[in-house]
Amino acid sequence: MSRERLDDDENAGDEGPYARLVRDQLALLGEDPAREGLQNTPLRVEKAMAFLTQGYKERLEDVVGNAIFNEDHHNMVMVRDIEMYSLCEHHLLPFYGKAHVAYIPNGRIVGLSKLPRIVDHFARRLQVQERLTEQVAAAVESVLDPLGVGVVIEAEHLCMMMRGVEKQNSRTITSALRGCFRDDARTRDEFLALAHAGNHMIG
């Protein structure tokens, strides 16, 4: 028996309100929540949703911590191809892809691992891609007060792939540009060229 099955079986009697709602939902769909394959599904879903929406319970200050450093560096810092997974707030179906985050320091830099953590902080909640992109940019701006911030997110949405228009090869691209990334054409062009340099990244 897998570790996952053991964990689920050990806690099968510990269902919370969310798990009980999932059990009711299964019955409304015409399933038998008591059959073997579904007995622990409500608890599994409850745990999965708690993880996928943990961004609601985090504070940005705790995500970044003390990983901000004084540094006389004025060139672009970019972390690209950050894996990103979120839930569309319209259908509760996943959307996933890559985020590219860049900034130009103004006397302070942040530990590189914190940029992916900022992306996760906002992705792990019910989202729309447009808002997620703006939230990441605003967070980097508030944490560092840099000369500029640029964020591009490229994602595929299961609500478009599995239902509705059923377009499996569509990709949504959103961007948020602040400071010199918005106002200076050369900085903007450099960032966008770097962000779109690997369009093979998804799939």
Catalytic choice (88, 135, 154, 156): 88
Q: Which of 46, 100, 127, 129 is catalytic?
A: 129
Catalytic residue, chosen from 83, 91, 141, 190, is 91
Radius of gyration of the chain (CA): 20
The strands making up 172-179's β-sheet, listed across from edge to edge, are 126-127, 77-88, 94-104, 148-157, 172-179
Among residues 4, 61, 71, 89, the one annotated as catalytic is: 89
Instruction: Verify whether residue 190 is a known catalytic residue.
Output: no
Annotation marks residue 90 as catalytic: yes
Indicate which residue of 54, 74, 90, 130 is catalytic.
90
Active-site residue among 83, 159, 190, 196?
A: 159
200 is catalytic: no
Q: Which of 46, 135, 154, 157 is catalytic?
A: 157
Amino acid 109 reads: I
Burial class (CB in 10 A: 0-12, 13-18, 19+), 128: middle
Residue given tokens 């319209």 in the structure block: 90
**CA separation for the pair 191, 102 (Å, rounded):** 7
Q: Which residues are catalytic?
A: 88-91, 129, 157, 159
